[in-house]
């Protein structure tokens, strides 16, 4: 699967998306793998209708949702509510890698930069 630069400036590789896959997937969510390089951060953005869950696979960072911020590490899970203004920054010295689960499934017009 090909990697793309997402609206939030993270490197995304879609793993499952019933809106884009040629397979007949009966899913109410999409799944992607995201990477943020050391010292970088995603751009502040929000989903208009969807909720999102991040599952941190590798690295460490700082998650920002609305007015709250918290350190995140490998094994952490973060829930982002619909319309929650979010960004994540890599505070470590290796790639920050995480899974993104979006419900309903992600499509480009579902999110906006804030």
Distance, CA of 61 to CA of 30 (rounded, Å): 23
Distance, CA of 97 to CA of 32 (rounded, Å): 11
Q: What is the pTM of this model?
A: 0.88
Please give the CATH architecture assigned to the domain spanning 4-113: Sandwich (2.60)
Distance, CA of 52 to CA of 1 (rounded, Å): 21
pLDDT digits (tens, 9 = 90+) for 23-82: 677 889 999 999 999 999 999 999 999 999 999 999 999 999 999 999 999 999 999 999
Distance, CA of 76 to CA of 45 (rounded, Å): 21
Distance, CA of 59 to CA of 72 (rounded, Å): 8
Per-residue pLDDT for 2 more than 80? no
**Residue 88 corresponds to which tokens in the numbers above?**
């994540």
């Amino acid at each position: 699967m090909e990697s793309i630069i997402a609206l939030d400036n993270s490197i995304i590789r879609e793993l499952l998306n019933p809106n884009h896959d040629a397979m007949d997937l009966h899913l109410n969510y999409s799944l992607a793998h995201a990477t943020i390089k050391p010292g970088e951060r995603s751009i502040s953005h929000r989903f208009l209708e969807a909720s999102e869950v991040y599952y941190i696979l590798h690295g460490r960072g700082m998650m920002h949702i609305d007015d709250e911020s918290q350190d995140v590490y490998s094994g952490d899970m973060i829930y982002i509510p619909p319309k929650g203004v979010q960004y994540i920054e890599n505070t470590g010295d290796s790639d920050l890698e995480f899974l993104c689960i979006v419900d309903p499934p992600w499509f480009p017009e579902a999110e906006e930069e804030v």
